[in-house]
A = this chain, B = another copy of it.
Amino acid sequence: MTIAPVACLDQVSVLVEPRMRELIGRLDPRNQRVTAYHLGYCDADGAPTAAVGKGIRPALALLSARAAGQRPERGVDAAAAVELAHNFSLLHDDIMDQDTTRRHRPTAWVVFGTAAAILAGDALMIMAHDALAGDDRPGGAVAAQRLDADVHRLIAGQAADLEFERRDDVSLDECLAMTADKTAALMSCACALGALLCGAPAALTEGLSRFGTHLGMSFQLVDDQLGIWGEPARTGKPVGSDLRAGKKSVPIVHALASGTRAGDAFRALYASDGLPEAELMTARRLLEEAGSRDWVQREADRHLAHALDELAALELPGDVHGDLVDLARLVTGRKH
């Protein structure tokens, strides 16, 4: 009965991408060019390319509509809105973090300049509203408010993340709250928005929302591990990229706050402006000795288990439940 995860993600290219392309097509030519490049619809010269990005959030939004007993088509606007909001934040975050590569391509600000990338991000955020502002659906206004609230959290999380890079007294609780804002809020939004847009009952939308929060936490904790121990060929980023950048991701803050000898040695090594190449392996070993790698993996597993518990409690139709479980496992296991 269960559609394989690949088929579930395939629905994104079949159903959501055309809607995204239609929305992008309404933009002025200058912003159209930058956003289409960022989304992988074209190269820097405007020649068509295959879209990039895994489409996890839109896939969740389509499943959210199906969880409400509707066809996935009814979740398309929610899916487009969440994916546009996500890409708004990527465009701006890449500028703030001065990241030069995303999805194995130069970032938009590198290709078109900072000003153009700021404007393109702005345009995508407004467009996320356009996606939801169609006909008068029962849940249209509620969905738009939910999206706005979670984008506020996303912005707050990014502001905290940037501040943490300059501080050496970040607590683990602060760091987890930042993660909940920066990543889990929009993932939770994706899981609830399709159902919200269909006017589903609160018991369902709130359950989906909690599923998404735990899924988002698990996803980010796995991502934090990859930022330290991930293989460049899989992550598309250099070895130990978060350590090089001086980030305060969860494993790093866990070690700094661990009170262990290894944690203290890591603190002595870890300058706020990032680690030099020669120290990367030492730093990774100290994080492992401080128990931070294991702790983060356990937390990721714990959040995934909570997510699946929330899902089970909703007593969804078997095929929808199966697809959501498969997608949750894919997202947190990082299988391609």
Question: Which of A's residues lie within 8 Å of B, judged by CB?
Answer: 26-28, 30-31, 88, 92, 95-96, 114-116, 118-119, 121-123, 125-127, 129-130, 133, 136, 140-141, 144-145, 148, 151-152, 155-156, 158-160, 162-163, 181
Q: Is the CB of A155 within 8 A of B126?
A: yes
Task: Specify which of B30, B114, B133, B181 is in contact with A159 (CB 8 Å cutoff).
Answer: B30
Residues of B within 8 A of A148 (CB): 126, 129-130, 133
Q: Is the CB of A118 within 8 A of B144?
A: no
Number of copies: 2
Task: Specify which of B26, B125, B127 is in contact with A122 (CB 8 Å cutoff).
Answer: B125
Q: Check A118/B118 contact, CB under 8 A, given A125-B125, A155-B123.
A: yes
Closest 10 CB pairs of A and B: A28-B156, A96-B115, A30-B159, A119-B159, A126-B148, A123-B155, A122-B155, A133-B145, A126-B151, A115-B162
Task: Specify which of B31, B119, B122, B162 is in contact with A116 (CB 8 Å cutoff).
Answer: B162
For A115, A121, A125, A145, the residue with the greatest tally of chain B CB atoms inside 10 Å of its CB is A115
Beyond A27-B152, A123-B155, 17 extra complex contacts between A and B, CB < 8 Å: A28-B159, A28-B160, A88-B122, A92-B119, A96-B119, A115-B162, A116-B159, A119-B162, A122-B122, A122-B151, A122-B155, A123-B152, A125-B125, A129-B144, A130-B148, A133-B145, A141-B141
